Amino acid sequence: MFMSHQEFMHRWRDLIFTPIDIPGPPCDPELIAEFMADWPGTSYHRHVIKSIHGPDHTDIPYDPNTEWDFFQSFVVKNSSTEFPWHDTDFQAMFPDVSDWIQTLPMVPDKNYAFGWVAQLPTDTISQTNHMNTSMIHTDETGSVGLRWFKQNTDNNLYFYETVPGMTLEEIYELSVPETKYCLDLYHSTDQTPDPVTGLPRPNEYFKPEAHKVLTRPDTGFMLQQQNACHVIKKESQQAKYTFIVEPVGNFEHRWDWYQLDQIVTQSIDAHPTEVIWRSD
């Protein structure tokens, strides 16, 4: 059976968040912590790129010495032809991850990146960083993201849905050129956090109420990225990881959309109390 990206997105246009019954990567948290300690810094991905191309090379338009306030990211496998490297250190410590990736509903032989995000210790987070939260953001407007929580104790992922009739893509297009790539794109001009939730406030294109995730500590999930943005609050314990598999290329050919549709349908039936829908 075949389903296009457009058909998938239309069918699930009112879905904001759902668990997905796909087991997470076989990564023991203690070994993940050990790997991160061996490769300190903002991103192991940057370390690899710099080791291959030299200290002045970076593949994203930020100073490679930048230290982020809230998180550190590790991209440990990238199979695309642009960066055709495979991290042997990670593979030695986690030999089963490559086989796990092959079980996902991706198009066969698809290039992809795999890694995770870990929150920084509280004492290293800037005091100006929205009361220990991430920025309000979307990972990739117009598609969906598959993620896996490991040791998520606080359910500190929140969503702001767009106002009726508005999508993230339309909000982006309404932005003036100077703000299109600004990290505050979805933020209100009121910089005071919500007194109840402690979250930064969204702008007028979003409903002011935040939807809080209620799911299991170790779980896979799919987040919608056409009608809602999200914000992450600091975890009360240190060892929480969010794993990401990101297929490379245009939306249409990233996932086997029919297979993913079947997984989403079954997962919603199995975990209805954990699903977040648009309220209108």
Non-local (6+) Cβ contacts of 271 within 8 A are: 18, 19, 21, 215
Bridge partners of 118?
72, 241
pLDDT for res 4: 96
Tokens 């904001």 identify what position? 16
Mean pLDDT of the chain: 83
Residue located via tokens 């209805």: 272
Please give the structure tokens belonging to residue 99. 């086989």
Query: For residue 81, which amino acid is it?
Result: T
Mean pLDDT of 252-279: 96
Q: How far is CA 220 from CA 138, 243, 263, 268, in A?
A: 18, 9, 11, 12
Q: Are 196 and 151 in contact (CB under 8 A)?
A: no
Domain that holds residue 186: 5-277
As given in the structure block, the two tokens for residue 242 are 């969010």
Between CA 151 and CA 157 the distance in angstroms is 13
Domain count, the chain: 1
The reported pLDDT for the residue numbered 66 is 47
* Model confidence at 263: pLDDT above 90: yes
The SS3 assignment for 202 reads strand
CB 65 within 8 A of CB 98: no
Distances in Å between the alpha carbon of 94 and those of 39, 48, 68, 217, 218? 15, 18, 26, 21, 18
- pLDDT value of position 83: 47
pLDDT tens-digit series, residues 189-203:
898 899 989 999 999
Check: CB of residue 206 under 8 Å from CB of residue 160: yes
- Other Cβ atoms within 10 Å of 30 Cβ, number: 9
Report pLDDT digits (tens) over 202-232. Answer: 999 999 999 999 999 999 999 988 999 999 9
Which pLDDT value is given to residue 41?
Answer: 58
Residue 85 burial (10 A CB sphere; 0-12, 13-18, 19+) = middle
